[in-house]
Amino acid sequence: MLEGVVQGVGFRPFVKKLADRLELPGITFNTARGLVVEIDSTHEGEARHFIAALRAEAPPASRVERCVVEEIAQRACYEGFRITPSAARDGSFTLISPDLATCDACLAEITNPADRRFRYPFTNCTNCGPRYSITLSTPYDRANTTMKRFELCDACAAEYADPADRRFHAEPVACPVCGPRLSMEICDALPMVEEGRILALKGLGGFQLACDAFCAEAVDELRLRKRRSRKPFAVMMRDMATVERYCVVGDADRHLLGQTAAPVVLLSMRDPAAFPPGVAPGLRHLGVMLPYTPLHHLLLGGSATCLVMTSGNISEEPIVIRNEEAIEKLGPLADGLLLHDRDIFMRVDDSVARTFEGVPRVLRRARGYAPSAIALGHEVGEVLATGGELKNTFCITKGRYAIPSQHIGDLENYETVQFFEETLRNLQSVYQAKPRLIAHDLHPDYLSTRWALTRPEPKIAVQHHHAHIASCMAENGLSERVIGVAFDGTGFGSDGQVWGGEFMICDYGGYERWAHLRYVSLPGGDRAAREGWRMAAAHLYDALGPEFRRLDLPCWSGASAASWKVLERMIERPAIMTSSCGRLFDAVSAICGISVESSYEGESAMLLEAAAEGQSGESYKLELNTQTVPWTIETRSMIERIAREIAAGQSGRVVARCFHDSIARMIESVCSSLRERNSVDKVCLSGGAFQNFTLLSDATALLRRSGFEVFLHSQVPPNDGGLSLGQAVIAATYLKDMS
CATH of the domain at 218: 3.90.870.10
Top-confidence range, 224-228, 313-317, 407-411, 430-434: 407-411
**What pLDDT score does 564 carry?**
76
Separation between Cα atoms, residue 495 and residue 507, nearest integer Å: 20
Top-confidence range, 130-139, 416-425, 730-739: 416-425
Q: In this predicted model, what pLDDT tens digit does every residue of 47-96 receive, in sequence order?
A: 889 989 998 888 887 888 888 888 887 766 788 888 887 776 555 667 78
Separation between Cα atoms, residue 191 and residue 302, nearest integer Å: 9
Classify residue 552: in a domain, yes or no. Answer: yes
C-beta of residue 564 within 8 angstroms of C-beta of residue 531: no
**DSSP H helical ranges for 267-335:** 294-299, 323-329
Residue type, 544: L
Q: In this predicted model, what pLDDT tens digit does every residue of 541-578 receive, in sequence order?
A: 999 998 888 888 988 876 666 677 788 888 988 889 99
**What pLDDT score does 682 carry?**
98
Separation between Cα atoms, residue 315 and residue 346, nearest integer Å: 19
Query: What global pTM score does this model have?
Result: 0.92
C-beta of residue 507 within 8 angstroms of C-beta of residue 555: no
Separation between Cα atoms, residue 538 and residue 535, nearest integer Å: 5
**Positions of E strands within 431-574:** 437-441, 459-462, 482-492, 498-507, 510-517, 520-521
Better-scored residue on pLDDT, 472 or 32: 472
CB crowding 23-45: b at 16 or more within 10 Å, else e: ebbbbbbbbbbbbbbbbbbeeee
**What pLDDT score does 431 carry?**
86
Whether residues 445 and 376 share a domain: the answer is yes
**Positions of E strands within 184-240:** 199-202, 207-212, 234-237
Classify residue 100: in a domain, yes or no. Answer: no
Whether residues 333 and 375 share a domain: the answer is no
CB crowding 627-664: b at 16 or more within 10 Å, else e: eeebbbbbbbebbbbbbebbeeebebbbbbbbbbbbbb
**What pLDDT score does 626 carry?**
96
Q: Region 121-138: what's the mean pLDDT?
A: 93
C-beta of residue 370 within 8 angstroms of C-beta of residue 404: yes
**What pLDDT score does 432 carry?**
85
Q: Which of 259-268, 313-322, 636-645, 714-723 is predicted least confidently?
A: 313-322
Whether residues 577 and 681 share a domain: the answer is yes
Whether residues 367 and 284 share a domain: the answer is no
* 3 state SS of 630: coil
Q: Which of 21-35, 245-259, 456-470 is predicted least confidently?
A: 21-35
| Nearest CA among 98, 321, 285 for reference residue 203 | 321
Whether residues 310 and 373 share a domain: the answer is no
Of 83, 113, 138, the one marking the end of a domain is: 83
For residue 152, the tally of other CB atoms under 10 A from its CB is 19
Whether residues 287 and 234 share a domain: the answer is yes
Arithmetic mean of pLDDT over the chain:
93
The 8-class DSSP code of residue 140 comes to: -
**What pLDDT score does 88 carry?**
61
**What pLDDT score does 138 carry?**
78
Q: Region 242-260: what's the mean pLDDT?
A: 97
CATH of the domain at 27: 3.30.70.100
Question: Cα(first)–Cα(last) distance of the chain, in Å?
Answer: 29
Percent of the chain surpassing pLDDT 70:
98
Q: Is the dihedral of CA 231, 237, 240, 245 positive or negative?
A: negative
Residue 728 has pLDDT above 80, yes or no: yes
Whether residues 577 and 638 share a domain: the answer is yes
* 3 state SS of 543: helix
**What pLDDT score does 572 carry?**
87
C-alpha distances out from residue 542 to 368, 538, 637, Å: 46, 6, 10
**What pLDDT score does 44 carry?**
75
* 3 state SS of 518: coil
**What pLDDT score does 739 carry?**
65
Residue 262 has pLDDT above 80, yes or no: yes
Q: Region 107-123: what's the mean pLDDT?
A: 97
Whether residues 460 and 326 share a domain: the answer is no
Whether residues 523 and 645 share a domain: the answer is yes
Classify residue 172: in a domain, yes or no. Answer: no
Domain ranges, residue 214: 186-355
Classify residue 498: in a domain, yes or no. Answer: no
The total number of residues shown for the chain amounts to 739
Q: Is the dihedral of CA 355, 361, 362, 367 positive or negative?
A: positive
CATH of the domain at 403: 3.30.420.360
What phi and psi values does residue 673 have, to the nearest 5 degrees?
A: -65, -40
Separation between Cα atoms, residue 675 and residue 395, nearest integer Å: 32
Of 310, 327, 355, the one marking the end of a domain is: 355
Classify residue 235: in a domain, yes or no. Answer: yes
pLDDT level of residue 11 (50, 70, 90 thresholds): confident
Of 299, 320, 355, the one marking the end of a domain is: 355
CATH of the domain at 680: 3.30.420.40
SS (H, E, C) 556-616: HCCCCHHHHHHHHHHHHCCCCEECCHHHHHHHHHHHCCCCCCCCCCCHHHHHHHHHHCCCC
Classify residue 129: in a domain, yes or no. Answer: no
Whether residues 581 and 468 share a domain: the answer is no
**What pLDDT score does 655 carry?**
97
Question: For residues 179, 183, 184 and 190, what is the CA-based torsion angle, rounded to 10 degrees?
Answer: -90
For residue 21, the tally of other CB atoms under 10 A from its CB is 12
Whether residues 400 and 537 share a domain: the answer is no
**What pLDDT score does 561 carry?**
66
**What pLDDT score does 712 carry?**
98
Domain count of the fold of the chain: 4
Residue 260 has pLDDT above 80, yes or no: yes
Separation between Cα atoms, residue 278 and residue 221, nearest integer Å: 10
Q: In this predicted model, what pLDDT tens digit does every residue of 326-335 receive, in sequence order?
A: 999 999 999 9
Whether residues 273 and 362 share a domain: the answer is no
Separation between Cα atoms, residue 260 and residue 570, nearest integer Å: 51
**What pLDDT score does 92 carry?**
63
pLDDT level of residue 163 (50, 70, 90 thresholds): confident
Percent of the chain surpassing pLDDT 90:
77
Q: Region 448-476: what's the mean pLDDT?
A: 97
Number of helices (H), then strands (E), belonging to the chain: the values are 22, 30
Q: In this predicted model, what pLDDT tens digit does every residue of 585-639 receive, in sequence order?
A: 999 999 999 999 999 999 999 999 999 999 998 999 999 999 999 999 999 999 9
**What pLDDT score does 474 carry?**
97
| Nearest CA among 218, 232, 241 for reference residue 305 | 241
Classify residue 175: in a domain, yes or no. Answer: no
Q: Region 311-318: what's the mean pLDDT?
A: 88
Classify residue 166: in a domain, yes or no. Answer: no
Better-scored residue on pLDDT, 354 or 68: 354
Separation between Cα atoms, residue 340 and residue 656, nearest integer Å: 49
* 3 state SS of 111: coil
Question: For residues 391, 516, 507 and 389, what is the CA-based torsion angle, rounded to 10 degrees?
Answer: -20
